């Protein structure tokens, strides 16, 4: 048989068979379920610390120190009331009646009520009291007061302290002007002795709180403040000085028979010096 003829006969048949065997593609299958979530990763390392913030600045404050000196020969001073304030406040006024706070300080040496009165005033800025008594011919402890910087341009200083071997004598300043002091600057003031006008100057052991009365069997707190006012001149005024008792060595030097004070308890004015310094 002729091979070429066979090929011509079989070729169409092979073509038909090949065509019949090629079917359409099938449809896609449904997606499989999602897998379970993986476990969380480990935490990352901590970041480095941030840098420190800048230091804060000091507030706008002015700082003052105050120091009292007792210039008397024998009179101890009570704890003092020291007050910084604006104009308008007065711890005392010459020729006017003493406040209760001034009376308690001048008769008994207690500054508590006077400081409370200052605190209640709208002009109040700061106040303090000295640490205990200031002995004769000595310098007291340093006291520190702080006020807003804006108040430095119109600032006043007041202070009062009792001469404790008296009935109601005190030394002090009334609204001294210390405006516009610069840092490092100091101002010095001398103060005389005042009479609060609240107690008669009998100078007896039962009416004075100091050591002179104590040596005579009296003194102490019970001999200090008395709410009754019995001074003949019942207003604050310049003190005329203590009379003291008779001088046993000189009969010509008459004294007050009821007095337990001696000539050593007298004083010359001024009786106190106060130095204020601005430190900031």
> Residue 59: its pLDDT value, please?
66
> Residue 111: its pLDDT value, please?
97
Indicate whether 130 pLDDT > 80: yes
Residue 212 token pair: 């002179």
Q: How many residues does the chain have?
A: 280
The per-residue pLDDT of the chain, averaged, comes to 85
> Residue 256: its pLDDT value, please?
83
> Residue 55: its pLDDT value, please?
44
Q: What is the pLDDT of residues 175-190, one digit of tens each?
A: 999 999 999 999 999 9
Sign of CA dihedral 28, 30, 36, 37: positive
Percentage of residues in the chain having pLDDT higher than 90: 64
For the chain, the structural domain boundaries read 61-278
> Residue 8: its pLDDT value, please?
42
> Residue 20: its pLDDT value, please?
46
Burial 7-38 (b: 16+ CB within 10 A, else e): eeeeeeeeeeeeeeeeeeeeeeeeeeeeeeee
Least confident of 95-99, 166-170, 253-257, 262-266: 253-257
Indicate whether 103 pLDDT > 60: yes
Residue 162 token pair: 């009792």
Kindly state the average pLDDT of the residues 91-120. Answer: 97
> Residue 225: its pLDDT value, please?
78
Indicate whether 249 pLDDT > 70: no
Long-range contacts of 227-233 (CB under 8 A, 24+ apart): 229/103, 229/197, 229/198, 229/199, 230/199, 230/200, 231/168, 231/195, 231/196, 231/197, 231/198, 231/199, 231/200, 231/201, 232/200, 233/195, 233/197
Kindly state the average pLDDT of the residues 30-56. Answer: 66
> Residue 251: its pLDDT value, please?
63
Q: What is the C-alpha to C-alpha distance for residues 91 and 117, in angstroms, rounded to an integer? A: 9
- Domain 61-278 sits in CATH at 2.60.40.2130
Q: What is the pLDDT of residues 196-244, one digit of tens each?
A: 999 999 999 999 999 998 988 887 776 777 778 877 789 999 999 998 9
């Amino acid at each position: 048989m002729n091979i070429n003829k066979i090929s011509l006969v079989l070729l169409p048949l092979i073509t038909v068979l090949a065509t019949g065997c090629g079917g359409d593609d099938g449809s896609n299958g449904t997606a499989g379920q999602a897998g379970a979530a993986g476990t969380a990763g480990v935490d990352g390392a901590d970041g480095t610390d941030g840098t420190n913030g800048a230091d804060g600045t000091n507030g706008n404050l002015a700082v003052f120190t105050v120091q009292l000196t007792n210039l008397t020969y024998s009179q101890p001073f009570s704890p003092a009331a020291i007050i910084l304030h604006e104009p308008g406040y007065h711890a005392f006024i010459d020729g006017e009646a003493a406040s209760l706070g001034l009376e308690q300080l001048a008769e008994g040496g207690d500054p508590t009520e006077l400081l409370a009165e200052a605190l209640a005033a709208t002009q109040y800025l700061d106040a303090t009291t000295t640490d205990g008594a200031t002995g004769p011919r000595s310098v007291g402890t340093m006291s520190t007061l702080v006020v807003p910087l804006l108040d430095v341009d119109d600032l006043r200083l007041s202070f009062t302290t009792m001469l404790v071997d008296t009935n109601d004598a005190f030394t002090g300043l009334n609204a001294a002007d210390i405006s516009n002091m610069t840092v490092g600057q100091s101002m010095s003031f001398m103060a005389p002795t005042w009479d609060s006008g609240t107690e008669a100057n009998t100078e007896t052991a039962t009416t004075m709180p100091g050591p002179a009365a104590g040596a005579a069997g009296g003194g102490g707190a019970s001999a200090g403040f008395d709410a009754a006012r019995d001074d003949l001149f019942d207003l604050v005024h310049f003190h005329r000085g203590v009379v003291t008792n008779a001088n046993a060595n000189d009969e010509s030097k008459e004294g007050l028979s009821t007095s337990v004070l001696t000539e050593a308890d007298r004083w010359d004015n001024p009786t106190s010096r106060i130095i204020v310094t601005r430190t900031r």
